[in-house]
Amino acid sequence: MSSNEHNGWASPAPAGLVALAIACFCFYALLAGKVDHSCIPLLGFWLLGGFFVQIIVGIVDLKGGHTTGGNVFLFFSAFFMLVGGLEFIFKYFAAANGWAIDARIDGWAWLVLWIVLVMWTPAYLKQSPLVMSLVVLALDVAVFFVAFMDLQLISRDFAPIAGTFLLIGGILGIYVASAIILNTAFSKNVLPMPGPILK
């Protein structure tokens, strides 16, 4: 996650975190039963919007030399946002038309995302502010439950737990995005951003 101006470009990370927060809040609402499944096509469109934001963030972060944040935003933009958005729209029409699909394949894809996120978490703990590390840790937990529910290895009864950790990740993402914007605008710590967990 870039928060500096390394190459003359301001960091788009706050916009990427807002896109992440939107996805997290919407997934929370779906997984916690706050909305019914008729919302699925609308969620798909929100995720598609997030794709455009996050791919830009990933590219700019990589251009600024931020390997961890840039790569995470790139794979989130592609798989969490673009694929997720298109799949939600497709699955809605598949269900409406009675098309049989084996959605367990999603669990295999989410399993890769979870493994990568967990394996890259120490880089966040070393390089990112504390609150951003907490975002990643919350996503580690949420993606675990999503992957294993989609694989049908654990019950859908765990959906509210996944949703709760997504909501936590979304709230913390909003905090980080706001801290970057406000602290940059005022040239001081309006919102505290404690340093990395690992030194």
Calculate Rg over the CA atoms of the chain. Answer: 17
Q: Which letter does DSSP use for residue 187 in this model?
A: T
Residue 58 backbone zone (phi > 0: left; psi -120 to 50: alpha; other: beta): alpha
Task: Tell me the two tokens of residue 186.
Answer: 């005022």
56 CB-contact burial (10 Å; exposed 0-12 / middle 13-18 / buried 19+): middle
> 195: pLDDT confidence band, cut at 50, 70 and 90?
very high
Average pLDDT over residues 63-92: 95
pLDDT, tens digit, for every residue of 19-66?
Answer: 999 999 999 999 999 999 999 999 999 999 999 999 999 999 999 999
Instruction: Summarize the confidence of residues 82-95 as an average pLDDT.
Output: 95
Q: Which amino acid is at 65?
A: G
State the pTM of this model. Answer: 0.92
Measured N-to-C along each axis, helices 104-127 and 67-75 cross at an angle, to the nearest 10 degrees, of: 160
The whole-number pLDDT of residue 131 equals 97
Q: CA–CA separation, 99 vs 48, rounded Å? A: 23
> What percentage of residues in the chain have a pLDDT greater than 70?
96
Rounded CA-CA distance 150/117 in Å is 17
Specify the pLDDT at position 1. 53
Give residue-wise pLDDT tens across range 160-175. Answer: 999 999 999 999 999 9
Residue 3 has pLDDT above 70, yes or no: no
Given a contact cutoff of 8 angstroms between Cβ atoms, the answer to whether 169 and 139 are in contact is: yes
**Alpha carbon separation from 53 to 57, 160, 177, 193 (Å, rounded):** 6, 27, 13, 23
Banded pLDDT at 7 (limits 50, 70, 90): low
- CA proximity to 47, closest of 74, 76, 72: 76
List pLDDT tens digits, range 109-156.
999 999 999 999 999 999 999 999 999 999 999 999 999 999 999 999
